[in-house]
Amino acid sequence: METVGLLKVKSYDKNLKKEIHKLIDLIGGFDSFVKTGDKVLLKPNFITARSPERPVTTHPEFIATIAEILLDYGCSVAIGDSPGLGSALTVAKKLGLYERLKGYDIKFINFEKAVLADINKGNLENRKFKQLYLAEELGSYDKIINLPKLKSHAQMGITLATKNLFGCVVGKQKGRWHFAAGKDLVTFARLIIEIALTVDASLHILDGIIGMDGNGPTNGRARNTNVILASDNCLALDRVVVELIKRKPKEFPLFKAAKEMGILGLNLSEINVKGDSIQDCKISNFKIPSLRSVNFVGSKRLSNLIGNAINQKLIIDKEKCIDCRKCEEQCPAEAISYSEGINICHNTCIKCCCCQEICPVGALSVSEPFLLKILKRFGF
């Protein structure tokens, strides 16, 4: 039985260190995961450089507090990621994290070189992806601790512990994977799981004090979600969060993929949740964007007609768009072009949402046709 620690926490204030110790004590204490002399890499969500007031990244105080705890245990600490734009150091400076930690011997690592990963890690027999190229920098550390953020995600519905480790794919290789596997969301979710199991992080500590819903993962609505969670199993942690936001696993490609892969132990009855109760920590009205492609058996003309009426699309708010063309640069399918403004070719678009994630002004969002809203209301 997997164990997940859960606490209701409402602030990043001076009590945060005590709360994080309390959380990790629920699952065995930091002594169970690190020892003096360990080289530890913290992997936050550093998707892009935004101010800490926007819950786009793992909160700087959350990261700094865990770094300080590890230093207290005699570990050496680095903080690393492969942001969509800029570098890990750029993001850290924008967040104020670099300034917060400048008195410590802590390095900020940008994942830059990809190497063939050891796919024998992670205890997974029926792998679909036989070759995974991940950040070489991961191999320089004794332990990896994953520090995800609780956010909605336009492609996958939510981004939590498992999805955060996709950040161990270097730079533009993320786009290549989106193009190769992202046309089918369950296949892409399977890739995410296989990457997470290969990275094999020792511990996952989720920052859900202030989360994001709606047009996530970068331009959604800030929410006081008021939780922190920890586990040594990323999927079990994610499963508990699904319960907190009052959703069902079948709504998310990640859990469809896990079921397809034969991963067991993800029923809520099979997870030992310690700390505060799920009922006391539930999050109301958590809005999730969901991209959905529907194919109908029958004539191609009928499939196209009905599909176009219900399939969601990425749309551009021309009033917000600043013509920076970062979306065009990032699109792995080359579905975005510039001619008197940004244009999306919806026939070419693979709905990976890389453009929506990277937009600095929130000019891209997911449309939801009226017919699809009706179908979803009836459980389709």
Cα separation of 134 and 171, whole Å? 10
Cα separation of 158 and 241, whole Å? 10
| Residues 62-66, mean pLDDT to the nearest whole number | 99
Cα separation of 157 and 291, whole Å? 8
- Rounded to the nearest 10°, the torsion over CA 54, 182, 168, 217 is 10
Q: What is the mean pLDDT of the chain?
A: 89
Using alpha carbons only, give the angle 19, 234, 202 rounded to the nearest 5 degrees.
75
- pLDDT exceeds cutoff 50 at 140: yes
* CATH assignment of 300-377, among 3.40.50.261, 3.40.50.2000, 3.30.1280.10, 3.30.70.20: 3.30.70.20
Cα separation of 363 and 285, whole Å? 23
Taking each helix axis from N to C end, the angle separating 60-72 and 16-25, rounded to the nearest 10 degrees, works out to 60
In 10 A of CB 102, how many CB atoms? 8
Cα separation of 161 and 193, whole Å? 10
Tokens of 86: 């800029």
Using alpha carbons only, give the angle 359, 82, 118 rounded to the nearest 5 degrees.
135
Q: 41-50, 57-66, 364-373 — which is least confidently predicted? A: 364-373
Q: How many CA atoms lie within 13 A of 225 on its CB side?
A: 29
- pLDDT exceeds cutoff 50 at 166: yes
With bands split at pLDDT 50, 70 and 90, how would you rate the model's confidence at 299?
Answer: very low
With bands split at pLDDT 50, 70 and 90, how would you rate the model's confidence at 126?
Answer: confident
What pLDDT sits at residue 375?
52
What pLDDT sits at residue 348?
83
Q: 170-174, 288-292, 329-333, 369-373 — which is least confidently predicted? A: 369-373
Which is more confident, 312 or 138?
A: 138
| Residues 267-280, mean pLDDT to the nearest whole number | 98
| Residues 213-228, mean pLDDT to the nearest whole number | 95
Whole-model pTM over 0.95: no
What pLDDT sits at residue 298?
44
* CATH assignment of 2-281, among 3.40.250.10, 3.40.50.300, 3.40.50.11440, 3.40.190.10: 3.40.50.11440
Contact predicate 322/361, CB 8 Å: yes
Domain with CATH 3.30.70.20 in the chain: 300-377
How large a percentage of the chain has pLDDT more than 70? 88
What pLDDT sits at residue 369?
63
Cα separation of 139 and 132, whole Å? 14
How large a percentage of the chain has pLDDT more than 90? 65
Tens of pLDDT, residue by residue over 320-354, are: 899 999 888 888 878 899 887 898 988 888 777 78
Query: Could you identify the residue written with the tokens 């600095």?
Result: 360
What pLDDT sits at residue 289?
81
Cα separation of 321 and 342, whole Å? 8
Contact predicate 181/187, CB 8 Å: yes
Cα distances from 114 to residues 172, 253, 379, in angstroms, run 11, 26, 42
Tens of pLDDT, residue by residue over 2-24, are: 999 999 999 999 999 999 999 99
Domain with CATH 3.40.50.11440 in the chain: 2-281
- pLDDT exceeds cutoff 90 at 295: no
